[in-house]
Every structure is written in structure tokens, then in C-alpha cells.
């Protein structure tokens, strides 16, 4: 039987597109009241409409996670809308590919601001209430590029390595209070972002290195997240779950 998330509340960042949008849909299907967040209000409202049309509960909160102030504001607004957040999915991320020499300081800062600093301060805002309540679940969306030497993913790969380490440390820090913190590490997944960032020939090369012989679907990553935040994963804490068609074993 599929574990229910009835009565729980979730904040999913980067839920206006790709993997985050699929996560928001699945968590709402399972019964969570989902706060959909991103910068693009039109896509955010559309995601909310789709969830509501399917019988789910969702609201949109706009936030540009390039600043800590915005992350803190998002946490506050999400709390006000729902009465308290039980599940946080740190999914918003950017992956501008460039070699070390070609990466500007501005791009480096953007990657770390959105991929590391925003999850850090969102978690810092939301975890105390989870601790007080004696339970909660956080999932960080990391990447296959955190552990593999993907040339061109210098700033990105190192930011996601940071996300992996935050996952382990938070699991140890908050596990004793009943808050579980895990990560999913997707391989190449068919999203709007990847379609824009990765030329077809690069994608074919990556598929050739993937035992599954194809790219992943956002819904396949979302199912893994839904498992990790559910009671079915009650003894899973600090896990880094690859969802990559086996690419990491190559
Ligand atoms: N797709 C893959 O192959 C793949 C593989 C491994 C890991 N991942 C990770 O999975 C996550 C989602 O990737 P995706 O492929 O689904 O990306 P995507 O289609 O480009 O979507 C990215 C999401 O992040 C949001 N976002 C970006 N910058 C933001 C900012 N400054 N403030 C707030 N929200 C922001 C976007 O919202 P707005 O546009 O509305 O701002 C959008 O909802 C990322 O963390 C990525 O690193 C993806």
C-alpha cells in the first residue's frame, strides 16, 4: 500500500519546473498540503492549478532564493499558509556548465547561493519547529555530479558535494530529535532545465554511460522523494539515494 501523507504539510523549492514540480505533484497526490515555490509566478500558479484540479491541496509562494533574506521570508510565508511545515524539499538548483577558467565569480556565487546557501538557511528557519514537534523530514536534491568528476561541472559538482555533506551532518544533528534528513542524487533527468542546458550530443554520451540506457523522468525522482519523506522510510536517515539508472556504478 502507498504510504499516505494525509495531514502533513510540505514546502518544495523549485517546484515551478522539472523535478520539483513532479515532487510537488506526488506529495500532493499522497495527501500533503504543498507549498509550491519558485521565481516564475505564472508557472507556479499553473502547477498549483494542476494539483488542485487533481484533488490536491497547494499554494504558491514566489521567492528568488539568490538571497538569504528571501529564503527566510519564504519559510515564514510557508509557515503562515500551512500552520507549520513537516516536510522540506530543497530542490531549487542551477547548473550552468563551464570549466574552471571560464567560471566567473558572479556565476560561482550564484551557484553556491541557490544550491547551498538557500537550503542551509531554509533548513535553519524550519528545522527548530520540527525538532519541537518531535518529527519532520527533509530531502535535499543533490546530483550524480556531487560524487563523480564531471568535467564542466566544477562549481555545480562542488556545490552538490556540499549538499551531500549537509545531508549527513543534519541527519546526525537532528536525527536524535526525530527529524530525518536524506538526499536523492538524480542522474540526467528529462527536465526543462536539462533541455535548455545540455545539447543532444552530450545527452547521448551520458545515456551511453547509463546502464538503464535512457535518461530519467522527473516522476522517477519524485517517487524516491515521496518514499524518503514517508513513514515507510522511518529508519532511513542520512541516506544519499542515487536515482540515476545505475550511472554512478560505471
Ligand atoms: N535534471 C537533471 O538532470 C538533474 C540531475 C541531477 C540533479 N538535478 C537537480 O535537480 C534539481 C532540479 O533540477 P531540474 O532539472 O528540475 O531544473 P529546472 O527544470 O531548471 O528547474 C529548476 C527549478 O529551480 C528553480 N530555481 C532556479 N533558480 C532559482 C532561484 N534563484 N530562486 C528560486 N528558485 C529557483 C526554478 O524556478 P523558477 O524558474 O520559477 O525560478 C525551477 O523551478 C536541481 O537542484 C538540480 O541540480 C537535476
Q: What is the pLDDT of residues 186-240, one digit of tens each?
A: 999 999 999 998 888 888 888 999 999 999 999 999 999 999 999 999 999 999 9
Range 79-95 average pLDDT: 98
pLDDT at 206: 86
Report, as residue numbers or ranges, the catalytic residues.
Answer: 156
End-to-end Cα, the chain, rounded Å: 33
CB contact set of 27 (below 8 Å; sequence gap of 6+) = 5, 10, 12, 34, 87, 89, 222, 225, 226, 229
* pLDDT higher than 90, residue 4: yes
pLDDT at 203: 83
User: For residue range 135-162, what is the model confidence (pLDDT) as tens digits?
Assistant: 999 999 999 999 999 999 999 999 999 9
pLDDT at 33: 98
Give the Å distance between the CA of 90 and the centre of ligand 1: 10
Pocket test for ligand 1, best of 11, 12, 22, 93 (most atoms within 8 A of CB): 93
Give the Å distance between the CA of 13 and the centre of ligand 1: 9
User: For residue range 27-66, what is the model confidence (pLDDT) as tens digits?
Assistant: 999 999 999 999 999 999 999 999 999 999 999 999 999 9
pLDDT at 202: 82
Pocket lining: 96 vs ligand 1, CB cutoff 6 Å: no
pLDDT at 3: 87
Pocket test for ligand 1, best of 18, 142, 195 (most atoms within 8 A of CB): 18
Cross-strand bridge partners of residue 180: 137
The correct answer on CATH 3.40.640.10 for the domain covering 9-242 is no
Domain regions of the chain by residue span: 9-242
Range 2-16 average pLDDT: 96
pLDDT band at 85 (very low <50, low <70, confident <90, very high): very high
Give the Å distance between the CA of 29 and the centre of ligand 1: 21
CB contact set of 73 (below 8 Å; sequence gap of 6+) = 63
pLDDT at 31: 98
Amino acid at each position: 500500500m502507498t504510504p499516505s501523507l494525509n495531514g502533513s504539510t510540505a514546502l518544495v523549492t523549485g517546484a515551478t519546473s522539472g523535478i520539483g514540480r513532479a515532487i510537488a505533484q506526488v506529495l500532493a497526490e499522497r495527501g500533503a498540503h504543498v507549498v509550491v515555490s519558485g521565481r516564475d509566478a505564472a508557472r507556479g500558479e499553473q502547477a498549483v492549478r494542476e494539483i488542485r484540479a487533481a484533488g490536491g491541496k497547494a499554494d504558491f509562494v514566489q521567492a528568488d532564493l539568490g538571497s538569504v533574506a528571501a529564503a527566510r521570508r519564504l519559510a515564514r510565508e510557508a509557515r503562515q499558509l500551512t500552520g507549520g511545515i513537516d516536510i522540506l524539499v530543497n530542490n531549487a538548483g542551477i547548473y550552468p556548465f563551464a570549466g574552471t577558467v571560464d567560471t566567473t565569480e558572479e556565476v560561482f556565487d550564484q551557484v553556491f547561493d541557490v544550491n547551498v546557501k538557500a537550503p542551509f538557511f531554509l533548513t535553519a528557519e524550519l528545522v527548530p519547529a520540527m525538532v519541537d514537534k518531535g518529527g519532520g523530514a527533509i530531502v535535499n536534491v543533490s546530483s550524480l555530479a556531487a560524487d563523480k568528476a564531471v568535467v564542466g561541472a566544477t562549481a555545480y559538482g562542488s556545490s552538490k558535494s556540499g549538499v551531500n555533506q549537509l545531508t549527513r551532518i543534519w541527519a546526525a544533528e537532528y536525527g536524535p530529535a526525530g527529524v530525518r534528513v536524506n538526499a536523492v542524487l538524480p542522474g540526467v533527468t528529462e527536465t526543462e532545465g536539462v533541455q535548455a542546458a545540455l545539447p543532444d550530443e552530450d545527452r547521448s554520451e551520458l545515456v551511453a554511460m547509463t546502464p538503464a540506457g535512457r535518461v530519467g523522468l522527473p516522476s522517477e525522482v519524485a517517487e524516491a522523494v515521496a518514499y524518503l519523506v514517508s513513514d515507510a522510510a522511518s529508519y532511513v536517515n542520512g541516506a544519499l539515494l542515487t536515482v540515476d539508472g545505475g550511472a554512478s556504478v560505471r
